[in-house]
Amino acid sequence: EKARAMDPNNAELSVKIGRTLVTTHDYQRALRYYRDAVVAEPNLSNLRSDLAGLYWRLGDHDKAVQTLREAPVMRRPPAQDELSAALERVQLTLLQASIFRDANRMQSAIDCLIQARVYQASVVQKARSEPPEVVAHEKSVAAGICLEIGDYHASLHDHERALHYYTEALKHDETNATAMLNLARLYLQRGESDNCEMQCNALLRVQPACEEAIVMLADLMFRRGRYDDAAYHFLQLLDRQPDNYGAMVHYVHLLRRSGHLSEAPRVFENAEKVMKPGQRPDPGFCYARGMYHKFIGNSREALTFLNLARLPRGNPWSQKALYSMIELYINPSQAFLWEDSEVRTEVEDNIRTAEKLLTEVENPEKRQLLQGYIYAASKRKDLVEQALSIFQDLNESRIAAAEAAQNQAADAGAGGGGGNGGGSNAGGDGDDGKDAVDRAMDRMHAPAVVGMAIAHQILKQSSKARTFLKRLTKPNYNADEEDDYERGYLLLGSIYIENGKHDLAQGLLNKAIAANKSCGRAWELLGLIYEREQSYRDASDCYERAWSMQGEKDPAIGFKLAFNYLKAKRHVQAIDVCHKVLAAHPTYPKIRKEVLERARLALRP
C-alpha cells in the first residue's frame, strides 16, 4: 500500500494488494478495496476479474457476473475491438461461463460459451499477422471452447451438435488429442465404426501410447472378428512398455472376450522382468492378475491379488478391485446367483465380509447397487425384497435424470444453440428413430434392471423377471455394464429353457458368447439345451467348453460333461473327466457310481 501511494498508476501493485487481502481471508476489506479500485480503474481487466472471482468465492454468482458484464469492453460492439480488447472480451465471457457452470446454470453457461466461440473466432482473425506461436495458441483456445460446447451436448446425448463442435475444434487444432478422442467415442456410440477407426488411427499418430484409443480400436477389431489385429495393438504397446498396467488390464479383458485367456501369463511375466528385486507389485499389476484369476474361476487367487490391488487406498485401481472383491464374496463360485449353489454357513460368512468391504466403496450409486446384490445373495425373502426396492430406486433415478437431460437438450435447441452449426433436429423432438432408441436405452440402468430380474427370479416370480430382461434389446457399448448384460442374457436364457423355448434361449446365449467367448455359463446352458434334446455329442462339446473355461474346477460341470460323454459313447473321455473331478472332490456324489463305473463297464470286452 505504501508502494502504491508512491506510484498510484501502477496497475500491478493494485492487483497484488487485492490478492494479498484475499490470501489473508480478509474478504470484506478485499471487497471494499476491489470495488474502489474498479471504480478508479474501470479498464483494468485483472482487477475486475479478481473482484468477480471474490464474489464467486463468496457464493454471490449474480454479482460476479454483473461485475464482468459492466466492463467497458463488454458495453461496446465487438466490431470496434482491437486484438487486446478482443482477448479481454473472450476472457471475461469464459469466466462468466465458469461462474454459471459452478452455479449449475448450464443453459446460461452454454450461452456464454457460444458467445465466446464467436469472439475467439474474431481473435484468431485479428491475430493472423502475429508470430506463428501466438496464432497457434489462439487457435488452441478456440478449439478448447468448441470442445467444451461439444462435451455439453454429448452429455445430453445430442450427438449431432456434439459432432459439429468436435469437428470444428479439430479445424482449429488438428492435433487436439482430446477432441480426437471425444470424436472417436461419439462415432463409437453412433455405431459409425469406420469413422471411429479412422479417428483412433489419427489419434495414435499424435499419441502412440493413448490407451483409450487402443482400447476402442481393439474393440472394433474384435467386433469384426479380427482378434489378431485387436491383440496386435495391445501387444505392440506392452512390448514397448511392459509395465503399462492400464493397457495390461484392457488386454486381459480382450483376451477374456476373445476366449484366449491362456495368453495372459506372458504379459505378466514380461512385467515381472522389469520390476526391481523385492519391489512390491504395482496395484495395477495386481488388479490385472486378480481379474485374470477371476475370469478363469480361481476365486481364491483372485481375491489375494485384488486385495493387493485394493491397498493402499486411493490408488487408481483400489475401487475397481474393491468392486470385484465384493462380487466374488457375493458369488465365489461365479455360478448363477438366482440358484442355491453355496453352503449357507459359507454364504453368511461371505456376506459379512462383503458388507465390511462395502463401507470402503466411495461411489454412492455403486455402493447402493452392490448393497442390493448383497441382499439378493442372502436369499432371505425380506432382504431380497429390500434389494428389489434398491434396484427400483436406482433405475427410477436414472430415468428421471435422463429425462431432465433430454428436456435440457430440447431447451438448448430452442435457445441460443441452434444457429451455431448444430444441424437440424439435433436438440429437439424431431430426432430419427435410431436416436429415440438410443435415448430410451440410455435411460435404462442396466445393472439395476438385471438386479430386479434376479430378485424376482429368487422370489419365484419368473414372469416378472422375464418382463424386465426383455428390455435388454441391443448390444451395450458401455464396458462397465457388459457383465450386467451378460448376466441378463444368461438369466433370460435360463427362463426360456425352463419354459421349453430353446430357440429363444439359444439366440440369447449365442449373443452372450459373441460378446464374451470365455462365458463358460453360456456354454453350460447350451449344453443343457442339447442334453434335453438328447443330442449328447453336441451337449458334451458345449460342456467341454464350459469345463475348460472354468479351469476344469467346477465339479458340477465336470459331472455333466462326463455324463454326456457316457451318453455319447465317448467312454474314455468320460473316465478321464471323472478322475479329474474325484481327484479334487473325492466325495462328489453320484459321479463314481452313475458315470465312472458304467463307463468302465462299457469298455470291457
Cβ contacts of 219 within 8 Å, gap of 6 or more: 188, 230, 254
Q: Please check whether residues 506 and 566 belong to one and the same domain.
A: no
Question: What pLDDT shows up at residue 50?
Answer: 82
Which of these, 177, 164, 499, 489, lies nearest to 336 by C-alpha position?
A: 489
- CATH at 561: 1.25.40
CB atoms within 10 A of CB 488: 27
Picking from 473, 491, 518, the residue at the C-terminal end of a domain is 518
Supply the pLDDT for residue 473: 62
The per-residue pLDDT for 323 is 97
Q: Is the dihedral of CA 152, 155, 157, 159 positive or negative?
A: positive
Among the candidates 483, 518, 553, a domain finishes at 518
pLDDT in tens, 528-585: 999 999 999 999 999 999 999 888 988 999 999 999 999 999 999 999 999 999 999 9
CATH number at residue 458: 1.25.40.10
Residue 337: how many other CB atoms lie within 10 Å: 23
Residue 306 inside a domain? The answer is: no
Dist CA 497 CA 495 (whole Å): 5
**Same-domain status, 604 and 477:** no
Whether residues 501 and 571 share a domain: the answer is no
- Same domain membership, residue 553 and residue 409: no
Tell me which residue has cell 449357507: 344
> Per the domain annotation, does 601 fall within a domain?
yes
Residue 383 falls inside a structural domain? yes
Name the stretches of the chain with pLDDT < 70. Answer: 1-15, 340-345, 402, 405-406, 408-443, 473-480
Q: Which three cell numbers stand for residue 551?
A: 479351469
Give pTM, 2 decimals: 0.74
Domain count, the chain: 2
Whether 368 and 439 share a structural domain: yes
**12 found inside a domain:** no
Q: Are residues 437 and 497 in the same domain?
A: yes
Question: pLDDT digits over 109-124, tens only?
Answer: 999 999 999 999 999 9
465 close to 391: Cβ distance less than 8 angstroms? no
Q: 448 and 576 share a domain?
A: no
CB within 8 Å of 250: residues ≥ 6 apart: 211, 214, 215, 218, 234
Q: Kindly state whether residues 557 and 513 are assigned to the same domain.
A: no
| Cα(285)–Cα(212) distance, integer angstroms | 18
Nine-digit cell string for 442: 440410455
On whether both 472 and 575 belong to a single domain, the answer is no
Phi, psi of 570 (to 5 degrees): -105, 70
Locate cell 502475429: which residue?
A: 130
Determine the pLDDT at residue 411. Answer: 62
Task: Provide the domain limits for residue 570.
Answer: 536-605
The pLDDT value given to residue 135? 93
CA distance linking residue 168 with residue 187, whole number of Å: 15
If asked whether residues 436 and 578 sit together in one domain, one would say: no
Pick from 492, 518, 544: which residue ends a domain?
518
- Are 495 and 567 found together in one domain? no
